[in-house]
Amino acid sequence: LLRPVPSASSPSGPSLRQDLFGGRLSFESPVGIAAGFDKNALLVPLYRVGALTGLGFSEVGSVSALPAQGNEKPRCFRLPADEAVINRIGLANEGSAAVAERLTSFSGLSKRSATRVPVGVNIAKTHSPEILGEAAIDDFVTSYRTLSPLADFVVLNVSCPNTAEGKTFEDSTSLRQLLDAVSRERQCSASAPPVLVKLSPPVDAASTAGSEQLRALVSIAQASGIVDGFVVSNTAGDREVKLSPEGKEAVAAIGKGGLSGRPLCNRSTATIRKVYELSGGSMPIIGVGGVDSAESAYAKIRAGASLVEVYTAIVYKGPGIFFDIHIGLRRLLEKDGFTSISEAVGADFKT
């Protein structure tokens, strides 16, 4: 059931409206759809309806330069006892040219809408073990060149665990080279939407190894001069999460794949907290991973996320989740004495 929510700035409660990325984008609600749900931007016309029920934005993709079929089926598995999903879809998508054509056809509709929802595009390397090194960077840049003029923000998915060769851009050298290439392309473009980097969750973000890994990536992103924020975090390719006995049995039978949903919630929130700390709260963070209630969303906001995204919760709870989180956040903000959501961002560091 889709239920309309009060205006984000309604006098009946704390404001959920935010202007982020130097005022370049406005968000009426902090709750969005994570990448992976609308891979090929098919649902963009429906986001206007979603806005009436608490949806604040969406991140389509991941989109790669070339079309990709992804991995063999079955490649997506539910863990009902844990409200989790394991996927090894392998970045299946129609490719940047097809998605750009679709976004172009929707652009006039979006701009005319009184309930416009910002749409970001998540880009990743084409799912092919033959695209490595400079070719992998060129692949990213091709997608950026094609899609950035049509996106409200662009997410560089440097951490996808489902690539054919198993390699990500989450090492210092690779990330620096990628950001340098995107920076050069950005200088040649009339369009420069905010750029965010999507990170994966270390097993323990507070550990020495986890902290140093994040410190290096955040430092490189900040020094690049083109990164405006972070998406934290991706699915987890390891199995260092707490699962039910049924979940453990299912995982053993399923094998490889990225895990999302409730079991990832605390780990994702810990990673958000560390990234917020390392960045000095200077860049907006989109928090994702196990958000399935107002309480889990609020925990991520207090840890440093300005926005949150849901995916697995839509699978288990339906689109009404946006209404529930939207209304619940107002209640939690009011309970803690905040007049706006921006006051709550990173509040755990201010007490």
Distance (Å, rounded) from C-alpha 203 to C-alpha 82? 19
Please report where in the chains the tokens 């690779």 appear, as a residue.
174
Distance CA(254)–CA(75), nearest Å, equals 9
Q: To which H or E segment does residue 302 belong?
A: helix 294-303
CB atoms within 10 A of CB 220: 19
Q: How far apart are CA 75 and CA 73, in angstroms?
A: 5
CB 239 within 8 A of CB 251: yes
Q: Is the dihedral of CA 339, 345, 346, 348 positive or negative?
A: positive
Spatial CB neighbours of 56, under 8 Å, sequence gap ≥ 6: 8, 16, 27, 28, 29, 30, 31, 32, 117, 118, 307
N- to C-terminal Cα distance for the chain? 38
What positions carry a catalytic annotation? 160
> HSE of 114 in the Cβ direction (CA atoms, 13 Å)?
2
**Closest C-alpha to 320, from 58, 53, 56:** 53
Strands 258-261 and 84-87: antiparallel
Rounded Cα distance between 305 and 312, Å, is 19
291, two tokens: 């958000």
Using alpha carbons only, what angle is made at residue 334 by residues 282 and 344, rounded to the nearest 5 degrees? 10
Rounded alpha-carbon distances, angstroms, from residue 15 to 5, 246, 265: 12, 41, 25
